[in-house]
Amino acid sequence: MFFLKILIRNAFRNKLRASLTILGMTIAILAFGLLRTFINAWYAGVEASSATRLVTRNAVSIIFPLPISYQEKIRQVNGVKMVSHGTWFGGVYIDEKNFFPNFAVEPKTYLELYPEFILSPKEKEAFLEDRKGFVAGRKLVSKHGWKIGDIVTLKGLIFVGNWDFVLRGIYRGKDETTDETQFFFHWAYLNEGLKKRGHVWADQVGFYMVGVVQPELSTEVSIAIDQQFKNSLAETLTETEKAFQQGFIAMSGAIVTAIQIVSFVVIIIIMAVVANTMAMTTRERIGEYAILKTLGFRGLHIVGLIFGESLVITMMGCLLGIVLTFPAARIISTELGTYFPVFNVEEKTLFLNLVATWIVAFIAAIVPTRRAIQIRIADGLRRIG
Amino acid sequence: MAIPIAYNIRNLWTRRLTTALTVSGMALVVFVFAAILMLAEGLRKTLVETGAYDNVVFLRKGAATEVVSGVSRDQASILETLPEIALGPKGQKLLAKEVVVLIALPKKGSGTPSNVVLRGINENSLLLRPQARLVEGRLPRVGSSEVIVGTSIAKRFEGVEIDENLCCAMREWRVVGIFDAGSSGFSSEVWGDVDQFMQAFRRPGYSSVILRLQDSSEFQSVKSQVENDPRLTVVAKRETKYYAEQSEMMAKFLRILGMSLTIIFSLGAVIGAMVTMYSAVANRIAEIGTLRALGFKRRDILIAFLLESLLLGFLGGVAGLFFASFMQLITISTVNFQTFSELAFSFTLSFEIVYKGMIFSLIMGFVGGLLPAFRASRMVIVDALRAT
């Protein structure tokens, strides 16, 4: 306890410098925490995916469709429990700025395959019965102020025209990692419209979602599915939902890497600032260290004093930064909700914050400490200022 | 009389460790600042160079990119009859009906697939894009399953060397050449015969029609004529504008990211400079008293300390920009969210970035040194001289 008191007294001997350094540390930890959260948000789709679900898409690329007739064929594959399908609709609500993901799905199987979308039985029934109905996530609904029964018009960019939908249900996520900004409706409704115009996507779907009996079977099942459609007009590529989501992220991998690097650069910058403070502190106190040595304290004691002081300063900044991270994350998640439906500070981030703080504290103290313990008593006493 | 600048330089040299730490902190901030600007500049340059001002792109109404657009054969033929189209060397109209699809190709090294633009071209396409020229092999023959790949694709993807086959749509597409389109987006594409692609990928119509105007100033009249024609459901855009729009989302993302990072980082660096300058003042109280006693004015002291801090900023700026200039060697390849396909671009250093970085660094030095310099200049001579 006594030791801690000395450390705190020492740290605040120069109040201005200490508070500036703590402020710098706070900013750095805040930035670090937010950047890590940002990366986590990027991977939110991967984290939320289930191991028992596979995604089958056209092998050429995601923009090519698969015939609806594949649904029954996939269902016959051993180990497949359930098959649903989805089509990326790419509709725009009023303005392109209001982006949210919207899909045409086979509603009954889709809701069964995605138990994380929780819908009250009454709403579920209403949705299944209304061919023009749609279901949207809680966040999306509150953002646009829709009410059950409202008619919402999307402007199709891929499937040209204005499409009307009726809100029949509002789902909420099972936990906070579930995306609550999705919009999905009956594929049958879309298909009807496309058939009337003789569109090439009539009786075609974007991708199949396949539920397997147990996760261990997923490799065999995906090989079996792809094998079945080999050498057909639309060859398929089946992978786990996780790999499918990761594929999207891998394509923008360069940006994620850049943010990751930057999050470490901020730590290095603050390291330079703290090291600077410690260097100045020890330079001023060389005389004191010489006196301590004369009194019989060992080099190790001095090491403890300097490292401890460095740690006191960085930890204060760190704690302050962590406390501020939460309100900052909340602001960002309301501002950028369109891009990042899930933006939560993870425990792992806080842990990384602490690790970074200790590293900064130690590295910053190394050079000054070396100077302080190497100096000879006589030199130290002789030195002024 | 002003205090000589040598005084500041020597002061910085005496406290080497502190100076070096402060400068390196600032250098890192300038580095990040410059790197993000360079990235945005590279992206801008790539997409601006992709389009030509005289070229006009026709897309289906409501379609933002060629990938989701569709122009039927009869509409394309109507566009072909426009009298404003420039003529080529053989007297033909400079107009290309193209089809664009995305295919997934494995990347070198990781083997993870990424989306690549496959563009069906005709003989006019190359005339419309003078920046693209063949560097290896030959052009694909009309009516064959032969393709040429851009240099960025050749560098980054597997199985795209000459005489290798790309597989797609139950056909084998033989690579017969590599073309270089400079730093434009076309370097990240694969080109082949348009009719073959349409048949193989079962596309009933074209994706877009591109033509060159005889007289660029006629764009407005062509645009209104085409968009008011009841037979057509297309919009006309200058090619430059079309490609600039494609980069909007990415550019905005980079701008927001860059601004927020720079603000946070510069706060850290300013604090670093402030700590350094405060201690520089605190260590030299007696010295400041002496200078004042010698007859230097308060203003001189203020200027001297500000100068010292600006010097720190200057050193930081130079070091940061020096390291940032090496980033030009790096090419980044990422997916453009809007077109959903691979786009390669490199960090580009421009004069504007250099001077922005320098000014930014000097501002950091100035802000960091301002309060300490005031403190130094406001000391009372007697008290300062008494301090040890």
pLDDT tens digits along A309-333: 999 999 999 999 999 999 988 888 8
How many other CB atoms are there within 10 angstroms of residue A370's CB atom? 13
Angstrom distance (rounded) from CA A89 to CA A207:
12
Measured between beta carbons, the chain B residues lying within 8 angstroms of A314 are none
Indicate if A142 and A261 belong to the same structural domain.
no
Q: What 3-state class would DSSP assign to A171?
A: strand
Angstrom distance (rounded) from CA B150 to CA A262:
31
Angstrom distance (rounded) from CA B212 to CA A233:
37
* C-alpha dihedral sign at A342, A344, A346, A350: positive
Indicate if A268 and A317 belong to the same structural domain.
yes
Amino acid at A197: R
Indicate if A107 and A192 belong to the same structural domain.
yes
* pLDDT higher than 60, residue A130: yes
A54 in any annotated domain: no
> What band does A66 get if pLDDT is binned at 50, 70 and 90?
very high
Indicate if A269 and A144 belong to the same structural domain.
no
Indicate if A261 and A222 belong to the same structural domain.
no
The pLDDT assigned to A383 comes to 66
Q: Do B70 and B232 meet the contact criterion of CB atoms below 8 Å apart? A: no
Kindly write down the DSSP assignment for every residue of B296-364, as one continuous string.
--HHHHHHHHHHHHHHHHHHHHHHHHHHHHGGGG-EEEEEETTTTEEEEEE----HHHHHHHHHHHHHH
The alpha-helical segments, DSSP class H, found in B206-247 are: 219-228, 239-246
Indicate if A374 and A267 belong to the same structural domain.
yes
ipTM value of the model? 0.71
The pLDDT assigned to B35 comes to 86
The pLDDT assigned to A385 comes to 47
> Which of A26, A63, A66 would best serve as a mutation to test chain B binding (most B beta carbons within 10 A)?
A63
Q: What is the pLDDT of residues B206-231, one digit of tens each?
A: 999 999 999 888 999 999 999 999 99
Alpha carbon of A122: minimum distance to chain B alpha carbons (Å): 37
A49 in any annotated domain: no
Token pair 């004015």: residue: B297
Indicate if A150 and A297 belong to the same structural domain.
no
Angstrom distance (rounded) from CA B103 to CA A47:
27
Q: Do B25 and A272 meet the contact criterion of CB atoms below 8 Å apart? A: yes
Indicate if A26 and A83 belong to the same structural domain.
no
* C-alpha dihedral sign at B329, B330, B333, B339: negative
pTM: 0.76
Q: What is the pLDDT of residues A257-286, one digit of tens each?
A: 878 888 888 888 888 888 888 888 888 888
CA-to-CA separations, B48 to B40, B182, B213, B240, B247, in angstroms, rounded: 12, 12, 19, 6, 9
> What band does A351 get if pLDDT is binned at 50, 70 and 90?
very high
> Which of A55, A163, A280 would best serve as a mutation to test chain B binding (most B beta carbons within 10 A)?
A280
Higher pLDDT, B236 or B21: B236
| Residue in chain B lying closest to A364 (CA) | B21
Angstrom distance (rounded) from CA A261 to CA B340:
24
| Residue in chain A lying closest to B113 (CA) | A247
The number of CA neighbours under 13 Å toward the Cβ of B184 is: 20
The pLDDT assigned to A251 comes to 65
Q: What is the pLDDT of residues A137-173, one digit of tens each?
A: 998 998 899 999 999 999 988 888 899 999 999 999 8
Q: What is the pLDDT of residues A206-228, one digit of tens each?
A: 999 999 998 888 888 999 999 99
Alpha carbon of A270: minimum distance to chain B alpha carbons (Å): 7
Angstrom distance (rounded) from CA A223 to CA B322:
52
Q: Where are the beta strands (DSSP E) in A130-192?
A: 133-137, 151-156, 161-173, 183-186
Indicate if A142 and A268 belong to the same structural domain.
no
Measured between beta carbons, the chain A residues lying within 8 angstroms of B18 are 276, 279-280
Q: What is the pLDDT of residues B45-73, one digit of tens each?
A: 887 778 888 899 999 887 878 888 889 99
Q: What is the pLDDT of residues A92-120, one digit of tens each?
A: 898 877 888 899 999 999 999 998 899 99
The pLDDT assigned to B209 comes to 94
Domain residues for the domain of A192 are 60-234
Indicate if A124 and A28 belong to the same structural domain.
no
Angstrom distance (rounded) from CA A199 to CA A158:
11
The pLDDT assigned to B236 comes to 93
Average pLDDT of chain B to the nearest whole number? 87
Alpha carbon of A32: minimum distance to chain B alpha carbons (Å): 10
What average pLDDT does this structure show over B366-384?
A: 88
The reply to whether residue A276 touches residue B335, judged by beta carbons under 8 angstroms, is no
CA-to-CA separations, B92 to B80, B121, B222, in angstroms, rounded: 11, 16, 19
Q: Do A321 and A28 meet the contact criterion of CB atoms below 8 Å apart? A: yes
Measured between beta carbons, the chain A residues lying within 8 angstroms of B28 are 265, 268-269, 272
Alpha carbon of B264: minimum distance to chain A alpha carbons (Å): 7
Angstrom distance (rounded) from CA A298 to CA B82:
92
Give me A293's structure tokens: 């040595």
Q: What is the pLDDT of residues A8-57, one digit of tens each?
A: 888 888 888 889 889 989 988 988 898 888 888 888 877 778 878 999 99
The reply to whether residue A252 touches residue B334, judged by beta carbons under 8 angstroms, is yes
CA-to-CA separations, A17 to A14, B266, B367, in angstroms, rounded: 6, 18, 16
Q: Which residue in the set B62, B101, B110 is minimally distant from A160, CB to CB?
A: B62
Q: How many residues does chain A have?
A: 385
| Residue in chain A lying closest to B284 (CA) | A385
The reply to whether residue A250 touches residue B279, judged by beta carbons under 8 angstroms, is no
A243 in any annotated domain: no
Structural domain total, chain A: 2
What average pLDDT does this structure show over A73-91?
A: 92
Residue B164 CB contacts under 8 Å (≥ 6 apart), including other chains: B174, B175
The reply to whether residue A273 touches residue B275, judged by beta carbons under 8 angstroms, is yes
Alpha carbon of B323: minimum distance to chain A alpha carbons (Å): 14
Indicate if A80 and A226 belong to the same structural domain.
yes
Kindly write down the DSSP assignment for every residue of B241-258, as one continuous string.
HHHHHHTHHHHHHHHHHH
**How many A×B Cβ pairs under 8 Å?**
136
A129 in any annotated domain: yes
Indicate if A215 and A168 belong to the same structural domain.
yes
The reply to whether residue A280 touches residue B340, judged by beta carbons under 8 angstroms, is no
How many other CB atoms are there within 10 angstroms of residue A316's CB atom? 21
The reply to whether residue A61 touches residue B102, judged by beta carbons under 8 angstroms, is yes
For residue B190, which of B182, B199, B181, B203 has the smallest C-alpha distance? B181
